[in-house]
Amino acid sequence: MKQSLQLKIGQQLTMTPQLQQAIRLLQLSSMDLQQEIQEALDSNPLLEVSEEYSDGHDEPDAPLNGKDSSQVENSEAMANQDMPDDLPVDSTWEDTWSAGAGLRSTGGGIPADDDYVYQGETSESLQDYLLWQMRLSHFSETDEKIAEIIIDSVDETGYLTQTLDEVLAAVQRDDPEVTLEEVAVVLKRIQNFDPVGVAARDVGECLLIQLNHKPTDTPWLEETRHIIREHLDLLGNRDYRTLARKTRLKEDQLREVMKLIHMLHPRPGDTFAPSDSEYVIPDVSVRKHNGRWVVELNPDALPKVRVNEEYAALSRNAKSADDSQYIKQHVQDARWFIKSLESRNETLLKVANCIVQRQQAFFEYGEEAMKPMVLNDVAEAIEMHESTVSRVTTQKFMHTPRGIFELKYFFSSHVSTEDGGECSSTAIRALIRKLVAAETPAKPLSDSKIAELIADQGIQVARRTIAKYREAMNIPPSNQRKSLL
């Protein structure tokens, strides 16, 4: 095979590092972006946090969200910007960026002289609480060893995960003389710790232990014990008709028994389940001003950054070409970073404005008035690519009078109506929740009945679609929603 050289001419798109940076910043959440900005501040000595605008003047008169959409550049067009390789180091235009640029300051916030010190969070697990009670009780040394193994075998819901034989085998490794009866006695003592019913081996045992702590003159106590011992399966299936027939209780009597059962806690460990608090920083806020819904960026979500002009000016007096090039390169990187932040800011505001304009009915009347909207609708309205809209709506949050929502929340598919219109899936979910909340507990609505009631409002939804939406909202089926109370 003969080797030869060939020259071909072709075209291909290449993403510049600046464009890659802009796209990466666009998809970051506010908290991730703050970390990204801090890393940029640590790595670039020419970049600094600014407490005021770089030109030294007051805030601009025109708010950023008051810009005409034609004046806001597309973030995807940054690759086509004509920027010289060697940027002047003495200019100050656009050297400062902040999410609050142009937003009127209300003078709020925490005063600088107030010292809020985080004292730390104290949390106690269920095992810690049970061990604390054990140490306050009069346990022998052997019983303490048994109790520690039992407590260590209790899961987060409060139930014992090992059998008595397994606990005995673990204890006998250190003390072969321990008997099964001793383990059972220690377990019974622990089951009467707080929360009552902890370390139970099944739901029936847990509920019966709690009933034993009720006063002996509690109404319907014996009937409740009998139902839990003999008919727990019927109780779990909510088969009240069969339950009433087998227990020979009338409906009003069975209702009193159910009231007593509802006072019990089938998962005693839930009160000690750790709850990780999740904090959300809204990127934009929506409020009604003079009859119009106004979108504003959150000025407290992002810090202001700028180029340090004193360091940038050192390039003119640098002793060597390497020092001068080092400073110029970092100045250029800093300005590209600032422009990427500004582009992210403008794109986020454009998308948020478009969402609010299309979903004004939601802000006025709630979820049932939500209109169907997909990413392509917003992309066409603001003349951006659908992938850009997807990035800017992921992990970005909007503060509204109705609560805080992720921007993705406002997008939903559509369902046709009888008059040829469209209804969003979010509105249908809201209707399902409304109907289920208003149903009679003794006769809950089936999926078919819910579909009929929604059809009466002119919205055609299949029964299987109702079932899919109901399951997505963690609403149990009608047979599990049935209740005598």
Q: What's the pLDDT tens digit per position in 319-344? A: 788 888 888 888 888 899 999 889 88
Select from 96, 123, 203 the least CA-distant residue to 160.
203
Bridge partner residues of 289 (DSSP): 292
| Total residues belonging to the chain | 485
Query: CATH number of 412-481: 3.90.550.10, 3.30.1330.60, 1.10.10.60, 3.10.150.10?
Result: 1.10.10.60
Average pLDDT value for residue range 407-425: 78
Phi, psi of 200 (to 5 degrees): -70, 155
How high is the pLDDT of residue 485? Answer: 62
Whether residue 213 contacts residue 230, with contact meaning beta carbons closer than 8 Å, is answered with no
Is pLDDT above 60 for 2? yes
Bridge partner residues of 287 (DSSP): 294
Bridge partner residues of 397 (DSSP): 406
Is pLDDT above 80 for 231? yes
How high is the pLDDT of residue 52? Answer: 52
- Give the lowest-confidence range in 145-159, 305-319, 381-395: 305-319
pTM of this structure? 0.61
Q: What is the dihedral of CA 93, 95, 99, 100, to 10 degrees?
A: -50
Give 1's pLDDT tier (boundaries 50, 70, 90): low
Distance of CA 390 to CAs 32, 233, 357, 411, 424, Å? 17, 48, 18, 10, 19
Model confidence pLDDT, tens digit, residues 153-212: 999 999 999 999 999 999 999 889 999 999 999 999 999 999 999 999 999 999 999 999
How high is the pLDDT of residue 58? Answer: 41
Summary mean pLDDT of the chain: 81
Q: Which residues contact 269 (CB under 8 A, 6 or more apart)?
A: 126, 154, 155, 156, 157, 158, 159, 195, 198
Average pLDDT value for residue range 116-128: 61
Instruction: Pick the more confident residue, 71 or 315.
Output: 315
How high is the pLDDT of residue 273? Answer: 65
Is pLDDT above 90 for 441? no
Q: What tokens appear for 484 in the block?
A: 């005598």
Q: For a pLDDT cut of 90, what percent of the chain falls above it?
A: 41
Average pLDDT value for residue range 428-432: 91
Model confidence pLDDT, tens digit, residues 261-287: 999 999 999 877 665 566 788 999 999
Annotate 138-163 with b (16+ C-beta within 10 A) or e (fewer): ebeeebebbbbbbbebbeebbbbebe
Q: What tokens appear for 140 in the block?
A: 């022998």
How high is the pLDDT of residue 94? Answer: 46
Model confidence pLDDT, tens digit, residues 46-74: 888 876 543 443 443 333 333 443 333 34
Query: Which residue ranges make up each domain of the chain?
Result: 17-55+283-399, 126-272, 412-481
How high is the pLDDT of residue 432? Answer: 92
Instruction: Pick the more confident residue, 480 or 416.
Output: 480
* Alpha carbons 457 and 461: distance in angstroms, whole number: 11
Q: Tell me how far the alpha carbon of residue 187 is from its chain's centroid.
A: 39
Instruction: Pick the more confident residue, 15 or 58.
Output: 15
